[in-house]
Structure formats: C-alpha cells, structure tokens
Amino acid sequence: MNTRPAIDESTGPVSLTVGFNQDSSCFAVGLDTGFCVFNSDPCELKVSRDFNAGIGATEMLGKANYIALVGGGKNPKFPTHKLIIWDDAKQVAAVTLEFRSQVLQARLSRSQILVALLNSVSLYAFSSPPKKVSSFETADNPSGLCCLGSSIIAFPGRTPGQVQMVEISTGNVSIIPAHGSPLKAMTLSPNGQLLATASETGTLIRLFSTINCARISEFRRGVDPAAIFSLAISPSNALLAVTSDKATLHIFNLPHANSTSTSRNNSSIHVIPSSRSSSPYSALDRPVSSSSSSDTTSNKQKWGILGKLPLLPRLFSDAYSFASAPIAIDDDPYSSLSLNGMAKPSVPIPGIPGGKARKGVVGWLDDSTIVVVGAGRDGRWEKFVIGNGEAGRWVGRQGWKRYLGG
C-alpha cells in the first residue's frame, strides 16, 4: 500500500508569457489566473488583475492604460482566436478583433495594431472601431514573430527564412532572404533603422538596414545549434543582446549603419538577391565577413592568431560576442514532479505560441543595464550590468528575484 502523501501542486499562479513595453520600463506577465504588470527596475508589482482564467499573450502600449490580451492556458479567459484591447482604467474590453485562427502575438503603437497569426499578419489603424489597413501572407510562423516600428512593419515572408518589410505610409514591400532556415527571432532597433534576425539553427545572428535592406553585419552566437529566446538592441543602437536555450546572455557590438543610409527603392516590391556560389552551402547559410573594427577586436579576443589564418574554417574569423553571462531558464509551467522526485515531461500549453512559456526575454534599461525575464512556475527577473575592466568589457548579474514571490 502506498502511504506517501500526495504532492501538492497548488503553488499559486503560474506565468505563461512575459513581455516588455516599448522602452522596457515595464513588463507584463500573462498568468493562468489573469495578468499583472511590473516595473522593470526595481522589480515591483504595479497592477494585478485576477480573472480566474488564463492569458497567453500580452502587449503593453507604453505606460498607457491599454494592454493587448489573448486567452491561453488550460482555462483561457478569452477565445484564443480573439485579440482583446483591455482598458485597465475602466477594466473593460475596449476593442475586440476576431480572426479565423489563433492569435499568436500582437504589437501596439498609438496609431497601429499589428496582429500575427500562423500564416498571416494584419495591420489595423488604432481607432474605434479599428480599421483594417492591410494583410500579408507568411510562411508558418508558430512564434508569432512581427515587429512594429514608427514607419515600417517586419515579419516572416512567404518563404521560410525570408523577411518582409512594409512601409506603413506607402505600402511598399521589401523582401530580404535573411536565412536558409525558418526564422526564430527578430527585432527592430529603437530608431527603426536596424533589423536583427536569427533562424531556428541559432548559430548566426544577422543585422540589416531597414533603409535599403542591405546586410550590415553577421554575428556568431556559437557553433552548436540553439533556440534563440530573444534579441534586443540597446537604446543607442550600438549593442545587441541575445539569449538562447543554452542559458546564456551574449552581448555584441553593432557597427554603424551610416554607410547604408541611402533611400529605398521606389518600386512597390524590392527583393534583395542572394549571391550565387559553387559552395555546397546556400548563400543564406554561408557566413559573411564584417568590416567593423569592434568585430575584429572580438575575433582577436576569441581566437587570437587563429582568427588571422586564411585557410581555417570561417568560425575562427566570425564576429563573436564581447561578453556573456549565464541566465536562469527555470522550469516549464505544466511540468511537475512524480512520486520518485523525477521531473515529468512538460505538457504543451494550450493557446501559447510554440506551446512553451517564454524564457529569456531581454529589455534594455540603458546602454549598460539589461533586464532578463522569463515565464514559468518559477518565473524570474534578472538584472545585468555591462562594465569595463583590465581585460575589456564584461557583463555580470547584479541581482535577481522571483517576481511572483516564493
């Protein structure tokens, strides 16, 4: 007869998703019981709403009272095919947009709403009621990747690995063949002039100019494949932060994009062709060299004289991060312990992009301060600072906190 006491799994609310507002001063957390909003630094609770039902996606509009919500978890508050613009001042749904399939992500500005589904994105004017401006087909986009800038939107193209960029004012479309495998992460710089992308392979991060779609630089995260969690560019557009399932935060120098600031092609569709080569690898998978002096410094620090030898594999001459630090990945919300203390396999979370809680989401507070947050049963907030030492610049964790308590 088994006399062991039952394991009590009622550990309070579980975070399903997490995301920063536009300037990373706050972050919103979707819970299996509602949602809450925290200050980024110090990590302090600002708002908590108990719906007794789950929220699978959140998107803040700066520090305004509007927040985009999508139902999620085992007991979703809203149908997963509806996007709710929640007015927290009145605590009512101010706007409801209904679609034929699950809403994976939304982006907000004071004038636009961008919504990502599995195979399409739609742009709306933020009005009452919202007016649909345009819609675009995409390749399978299970993570709901999309970026909303002041003048452009960016999202996966119809072919895996491609990026579509659209000028909001004119509707002109630019197609960038960014990677040879499906996209996993993408982000726009604060000034909207740079676009960083990563594929499902997770070894290379590429940087493009949004002005003329030129590839500016390329960075190597590592040699082994990895799932990229988050990309974020610093407020000065000079640094790039990258997190992955290797439980590591990488910091890269970004070259200046002044040389690429030429006008866009006036045609309605502009395709950036890839170069042909006799190499067994496609042009999209092949690393490119960088002329940035900061990249050269990173290479010297990584491999020393090996980075200068001409016949060695390209990984010896690629641009690497100048600093890195470990991050907490924690557990998945719907994993639990069996009676023998072993972890059970995690169950895909209904209504959550990819079926997994978001991890390693990066926000820049300033050019030397980074906050990394992750969802999960043991969701954490971590603060990192970048400093200078005798051996060069470094990044280190200054503090951490379980933002849900416990």
pLDDT number for residue 337: 42
Mention every residue, 6+ apart, whose C-beta is less than 8 A from residue 304: none
Q: What is the mean pLDDT of each run of 10 residues along the chain (406 residues)?
A: 47 89 97 97 96 97 96 95 97 96 96 98 95 97 97 97 97 96 98 97 96 94 95 97 97 72 45 38 38 43 53 61 92 51 63 86 98 93 96 95 86
pLDDT number for residue 148: 98
The answer to whether residues 175 and 271 touch, using CB atoms and an 8 Å cutoff, is yes
Helices (H), 27-148: none
pLDDT number for residue 262: 44
Helices (H), 51-123: none
Say how many CA atoms lie within 13 Å of 405 toward its Cβ: 5
pLDDT number for residue 348: 77
d(CA 175, CA 273): 9
What is the spatial order of strands in the sheet that 361-366 belongs to?
361-366, 369-373, 380-389, 392-402
